Structure 1
Amino acid sequence: MPYARIAVVRKQPLAQAVLAVLSLGCSLPLWALEAPSKVQVPTLAYDDQQIILVWEKPANYADIADYHIYANGQLLGSANANNDQVSPAKPYIDRFYQQDTRNFHHRIAIHSFTANGLKPDTEYRFSVRSVGRDGKESGDSPVVVQRTTAVPALFDVKKHGAKGDGSSLDTAAIQRAIDACTVGCKVLLPKGTYKSGALYLKSNMTLEIAEGATLLGSERAEDYPREGYIQYPYSTTVRPASLINALPRDPRQHQAFENIRIVGKGTIDGNGWKRKADAIDERGQPLPVYLASDNTRYMLDGLLAKAQVERAVAEGMNVKDAYGQMRSSLITLRDVKNVFYGGFTVLNPAYHGIMNLETENVVLANTTHKTYDANNGDGIEFANSRGAMVLNNFFDTGDDCVNFAAGTGAEAVKQKAQQDAWIFNNFFRQGHGMVVAGSHTGAWIENILAEDNVSDGTDAGLRMKSTNFMGGGARNVTFRDSAIRNTVKQAFIFTLDYHDPNAKLDYQRSTIAGQFRDVRVSDVSVENAQMAAIEVKGDSQHGAYHQGLSFERVRFSGPALARIDGLKDSRFDTIRFSETGGTNPWQVKDSDGLAFQDVEPAPAQP
């Protein structure tokens, strides 16, 4: 069996490292508490009553325990206490650490704050200070100035004829309210259950699903226009409209949108599948479980999913393609600049959850996704988009939690790359992966930062998947400062061996394999990865390698192995395996240029 060419290096002792630093003339200010950097208000993350702030951690953040937020010079509160009030992820994060009795896991940092109870049309000046473990504060961050909006014009759907009784079809009434909405307005669904087919949003509006309100998708296929959108310019199948859309009514036309907000403490329910008995989660709370289905069982398991597949089959489509292409997602937005999703709960899509196609500047904050185990029931997806921020969300999904896509095959090189995303302070329960790049990698997925997240029970942590005919790949990805427990499969996977049984290969295959490169994983704890700690699978027989992977300060507890096949020019620094049952966890072959430094246990020499 061919082995990798590897180098094993030992670090210098700590004392030598300290002396080396002191010899350079460094003094105490090197470790002084710094204020956070790049404090900002995310895109459209404000209204007439609240403003959300986020910030990047300073370079030296090891001794920071919290952050204090000031408005106009007055203390508003701390990030940790505020997160307890606004984030649906936080109770699960807290429970995760309560169960960590060995103190094994990396502790995440909270770096957002929601200022509530503000006055409309009023300017506020915010600054943030780091708080050390001794309670002392840093200096102020740069000031961020943000004005709340004026009180928006309100368009109550009940005043436009909506019943909200859970049985009447309210599509037309809700659409009338949306169409009547003036620039900057709010369309409100007050308490009640509003059954609806496809709805079409427009620019410069807010759709609010109030607390106690549910937007319930109709289970009838005819309530969703058959021609909704084409996924990629070279795709051959026109997919049906979703429950909520920012799309042209005619998919052959182009229409750009801007400044759309979907918010509220209510629920958006796709009514896609039948529901099993609820599960009880680790906090003793009920979580819905939907029937896991496929293209042979949808007739028994499906509601809207069943109706839409049956319609497509009746029109002459084969079952496999109908199942894989003709179910409605919950939300689909295309070519929208500036989007904010905030506060609501997602249930039971017939297909995907929230789809963002060719969008720019999208924020998902403080939302709850309960779509397990609805087939293909992703949390949120970004495709050929630029600028995404995903914070303070709870994911319990039937597919990928946060997914990035960039087109398929040879034609994808004509598309824009999927670029620039920041994912932090989320809790991932079930799902195929916490953060997923692929399998559609053709135009490249790049510049992704995922940090300060917690997972317990996903199939994988960082999941990167493509094929040897997809092209592109993912690059410049950072996954750090996170805690992972009980992955059903791999903690980290980089593979060219992905296969989707429902995928329609309606594109020209690329002659170039997908590739994952320049990926850094650091300061992560992994407990009980059940199939593999790290799995790298290139296609070395055809010269397709992943390269430039860097793992630093990552610790694994449990018997899972690191299986590496088809990797070049990568490094593993300060890696710890414990409870391996006495076996060496490293299985490396057909790889070249791998450096191992301060790794315990060290890989066997070839």
Structure 2
Amino acid sequence: MDFEISAAFKRSVTIEIENSTICYTDEEYRILINGEEKLKTNLNVVSIDGLLPDSDYTLAVEDSRGRTEKTFKTGHETVLLDIKNFGAKGDGKNEDTSFIQAAISSCPVDGTVYVPKGIYLTGPLFLKSHMSLWVDEGAVLLGCEEREKYPLLPGMTETTDGSDEYNLSSWEGNPETSFASLITAVNVEDLDIFGKGTIDGNGDKGDWWVNPKVKRIAWRPNTVFLNHCRNVRLQSVTVRNSPCWTIHPYYTDELSIYNINVWNPSDSPNTDGMDPESCSRVLVLGSRISVGDDCIAIKSGKYYMSERHHKPSEHILIRNSFLERGHGSVTIGSEASAGVNDVTVERCIFEGTDRGLRIKTRRGRGPRAVYDNIIFRNIIMKDVHMPFTFNMFYFCDPDGHSEYVQDQNERPVDERTPEIGTIRAENIEATGADQCMLVAYGLPERYIDNIVLRDVKVSFRPKSERKPGQTIMMDNFPEMTGKSVYARNVKRLAMDNIEIRGSDDTETELINVIDFDSYNVVYVNDVATEF
């Protein structure tokens, strides 16, 4: 069984099995480090801890077909700083913010700040370059409940010479003053956060989720906020109970996520799992996200940020990961005025989300709000109500229900008209669909350019188990149940080798679809729970 060393940290390593299966191997295998068995598993991506820095290791993967070995070296570490030696108590009662921050501030280049077992009540912590934060198994960084203990990050400050702006914070795509996050990094490079411990935003306590769209002092914090950073890695940690978006990489490049867990209650408001905003070269590997909103939402700001600080989100790869519950498994938009391109989601399992692939935008996002080269392939969807939705009338923002946004009549193409380019979905199996297989609604003045579905099987729930629902969030659009395909204002829709099982209809509903390429599209009357 072949594998790759995906990442070697100072005290741990992540590997990925090289195969074609989704998330799991076809048989259990063993992992040995220097001849000692460390783990038996059938996951495609796993991390092994308990290693020492600056050390050479031989890692072997062994199954019934044989054994494969590879060598690696863990990262260099100058010093290990235990936060308890700085005064942190870890009793969950006394606040430890200043003690932990002292350890971080004292950490030299290539040093590690160590969080041992315990519950550390803390306000926001500001990390710095060329360091590691090790949250060990049994350790919890627990956010304070009181807003007053969270510093404010001004959204935008004019530079002294008046020639530029310094951006410290963001709220839903605009440079708005927000509370600092429990883990905050600003203009940081070469940062690792690893360990089997927990970063708990404590959003279920206090009043973070009460009137969530009302600004009180400042906008709600994330749990992890990476602002204008470079070369950041997260491995193995659990991040939970976020006051708002959980992990928010912002204008950050070279970000790698390995085997992390993100969990928020299903009814927690706006608690997206991960929102890379204006980020480039992002890898999400072997992770599990289960939240109260979109699991992963790829964004690039609203109109002001696109015009003044333009940076698209691009070169994003999500693989061998589990995306569960929430509104969308992987969402593009809607705050993406700088555009999103070159996104690949492959060999993942989507389970229990409202929507699988979710594309959303609206008038007002601007001419650079172009989504293009989005590829979903080798995906299993289980009990996803709506596998594919494309919506150019998304009713977000204070003006979301205005005539300008929701008018379904053709309007002039102008400097605020967005665009959806080519979206591909290939080798998808979805069981337990409810409301629709595909809904695509483009603007009458700018059609969706190209939707390609190839080798897709969708099975609907029995009628008795379905509930009509709002497939796309726009005004004056009917609820649906058991609907196969509805497409409107699309230049090209290609469907090749498609099986639709148990839908109420037996043909696509197309309105203003210029080019419809259909090959081997089969409707099956009976309902099946599996293929």
- TM-score per shorter chain, which class? 0.7 to 0.9
Q: 2:55 maps to what in 1?
A: 122
Q: 2:411 maps to what in 1?
A: none
Note if 1:237 corresponds to 2:176: yes
Moved more, 48-57 or 470-479: 48-57
One-letter amino acid matched to 1:597: Y
User: Does the CA-based 8 Å contact 2:142-2:199 persist in structure 1?
Assistant: yes
User: Does the CA-based 8 Å contact 2:88-2:96 persist in structure 1?
Assistant: yes
Q: 2:117 maps to what in 1?
A: 191
In the TM superposition, residue 516 of structure 1 has moved relative to its aligned partner by 2.4
User: Does the CA-based 8 Å contact 2:209-2:268 persist in structure 1?
Assistant: no
Calculate the aligned-residue CA RMSD, in Å. Answer: 3.4
Q: 2:257 maps to what in 1?
A: 364
In the alignment, which of 508, 523, 528 is matched to residue 586 of structure 1?
508
Residues 152-301 of structure 1: pairs in structure 2 closer than 5 A: 152-227=78-153, 229-231=168-170, 235=174, 237-247=176-186, 256-274=187-205
Pick closer, same or farther for the CA change 1:321–1:164 going to 2, 3 Å: same
User: Does the CA-based 8 Å contact 2:426-2:455 persist in structure 1?
Assistant: yes
Q: How far apart are the structure 1 equivalents of 2:357 and 2:172?
A: 29
- TM-score relative to the length of structure 2: 0.80
Residues 56-67 of structure 1: pairs in structure 2 closer than 5 A: 65=26
In the alignment, which of 332, 356, 361 is matched to residue 437 of structure 1?
332
- TM-score relative to the length of structure 1: 0.71
Q: 1:496 maps to what in 2?
A: 392
Residues 23-172 of structure 1: pairs in structure 2 closer than 5 A: 41-42=5-6, 45-54=7-16, 65=26, 83-84=41-42, 110=44, 112-114=45-47, 120-123=53-56, 146-150=72-76, 152-172=78-98
Pick closer, same or farther for the CA change 1:244–1:338 going to 2, 3 Å: same
Identity of aligned residues (%): 26
Q: How far apart are the structure 2 equivalents of 1:554 and 1:485?
A: 14
Q: 1:562 maps to what in 2?
A: 485
In the alignment, which of 418, 422, 441 is matched to residue 313 of structure 2?
418
Q: Higher relative CO (CA 8 A, sep ≥ 6), structure 1 or 2?
A: 1
User: Does the CA-based 8 Å contact 2:29-2:40 persist in structure 1?
Assistant: no
One-letter amino acid matched to 1:572: M
- Structure with greater helix percent: 1
User: Does the CA-based 8 Å contact 2:228-2:252 persist in structure 1?
Assistant: yes
Q: 2:246 maps to what in 1?
A: 353
Q: How far apart are the structure 2 equivalents of 1:575 and 1:56?
A: 28
Deviations 1:495-523 (A, max 9, x none): 11212257999xxx973432222211011
Q: How far apart are the structure 2 equivalents of 1:246 and 1:515?
A: 33
Note if 1:337 corresponds to 2:230: yes
One-letter amino acid matched to 1:356: P
Pick closer, same or farther for the CA change 1:201–1:519 going to 2, 3 Å: same
Pick closer, same or farther for the CA change 1:350–1:127 going to 2, 3 Å: same
Q: 1:511 maps to what in 2?
A: 415
In the TM superposition, residue 529 of structure 1 has moved relative to its aligned partner by 1.9
Q: Alignment length, in residue pairs?
A: 473
Q: How far apart are the structure 2 equivalents of 1:499 and 1:395?
A: 25
In the TM superposition, residue 324 of structure 1 has moved relative to its aligned partner by 12
Q: How far apart are the structure 2 equivalents of 1:520 and 1:48?
A: 38
Q: How far apart are the structure 1 equivalents of 2:198 and 2:48?
A: 23
In the alignment, which of 271, 285, 295 is matched to residue 377 of structure 1?
271
SS of the aligned residue for 2:306 comes to helix
SS of the aligned residue for 1:383 comes to coil
In the TM superposition, residue 584 of structure 1 has moved relative to its aligned partner by 1.4
Q: 2:281 maps to what in 1?
A: 387
SS of the aligned residue for 2:120 comes to strand
Structure 2 gaps of 5+ residues are 155-167, 406-413, 461-481, 525-531
In the TM superposition, residue 352 of structure 1 has moved relative to its aligned partner by 1.1
Note if 1:408 corresponds to 2:408: no
Q: How far apart are the structure 1 equivalents of 2:379 and 2:292?
A: 22
In the TM superposition, residue 569 of structure 1 has moved relative to its aligned partner by 2.2
Q: How far apart are the structure 2 equivalents of 1:499 and 1:56?
A: 42
SS of the aligned residue for 1:429 comes to strand
Deviations 1:329-356 (A, max 9, x none): 1110111111111212222111110110
SS of the aligned residue for 1:271 comes to coil
Q: How far apart are the structure 2 equivalents of 1:565 and 1:537?
A: 5
Pick closer, same or farther for the CA change 1:200–1:236 going to 2, 3 Å: closer
Note if 1:467 corresponds to 2:362: yes
Q: How far apart are the structure 2 equivalents of 1:432 and 1:178?
A: 36
